Amino acid sequence: MGAWGAGLYSSDFAMDMRPLIAAIARLPVPDGDIHRYVSGANPGVADNPADEDHTIFCLTLADQFAKKGIDCPHTRQRALEIIASGADIAMMRNLSMSERDLRKRAANLKEVRAAIETAAAAPKKPRKTLKKPQEFIMQTGDCCAFPVCKGQAINPYFASADMYGWAQDGWGAALVVETGRTLDYLVWYRLAALEQKFSGKPSMDDVREARVGGGLSAGTCSPVHFKRMQLEKIGALDLRPGAIHELVPELAKARSGDQAAIHDISVSNNLAIDTIFNRGFNGPLVSQLL
């Protein structure tokens, strides 16, 4: 990691923990189990005081719990012990943090301690959680058509495409090559836009003859985003299990389903044709996936 800032969230590790904690906090599990889930996602750090990220893990977890009203005495006590003993300051000194920044960090930790103690004494409110696992709105093998403007699908973060000057000039097609659930609740998709741009709405024959494009990172797709991007299911194909990983070894470097689900990264980022995604990428023919 390396120490490079006096703030609690000055390290990449602490910053990465925040969306993970936020995602797990949505699950309908007891407060104490959230600590266990987050620890499981950080093996070798949560229970190893010798690890350079251990104190950051404990302090970040307790601080986020305080902010979210999550009551976990074990998490809170461990963070307070670290602050009182100076364990975090000692670790930061070992990581070559300057004395000036160490003093700033000590002052910041006093504020963290106050926030943790204040939250512990405050009345507890129920967390807003998912009532059940998210449902799949697409399945592996589903083929979807969608309108495009200069190779780009509609940006679903706008309520209407008219809001940012988007105007349809063609059609794209996409194939769901993989789906999954993270933490048993959060759904994700690997929705691959096909390389070809179509003048009219593509047919299943068009899909079978097309080639997979380079935008293969996993993403999420809520019913709202599905509707706003005007995705339309036009049929389904029986894909060979694992075919996309067999034919596209580059997937090992693409965004995983877990990353997409935890950070809620939309599949809309992949729905582009004739863009940087496809430059130099020789994707498999759809027929090779069958």
* CA dihedral of 144, 150, 152, 154, whole degrees rounded to 10: -80
Say yes or no: 70 and 187 in one domain.
Answer: no
Per residue in 134-157, pLDDT (tens digit) is 999 999 999 999 999 998 999 999
Radius of gyration of the chain (CA): 23
Cβ neighbours around 274 below 10 Å, total: 17
Q: Is residue 1 part of a domain?
A: no
Q: Which domain holds residue 195?
A: 142-289
Say yes or no: 117 and 189 in one domain.
Answer: no
Domain count, the chain: 2
CA contacts within 13 A on the Cβ side of 198: 21
**Minimum mean pLDDT range among 126-135, 193-202, 265-274:** 265-274
pLDDT surpassing 80 at residue 3: no
Question: What pLDDT was estimated at residue 275?
Answer: 60
Say yes or no: 150 and 282 in one domain.
Answer: yes
Per residue in 184-221, pLDDT (tens digit) is 999 999 999 998 899 999 999 999 999 998 889 999 99
Q: Cβ distance 189 to 218 under 8 Å?
A: yes
HEC-encoded secondary structure of 164-186 = HCCCCCEEEEEEEEEEEEECCCE
Q: Which of 272, 217, 271 is nearest to 244 (CA)?
A: 217
Q: Which two tokens stand for residue 141?
A: 């093998």
Question: What pLDDT was estimated at residue 1?
Answer: 44
Task: Tell me 147's DSSP state.
Answer: E
Tokens 């005495």 belong to 73
Say yes or no: 216 and 108 in one domain.
Answer: no
Say yes or no: 265 and 177 in one domain.
Answer: yes
Say yes or no: 199 and 259 in one domain.
Answer: yes
Report the predicted TM-score, pTM, of the whole model to 2 decimal places: 0.82
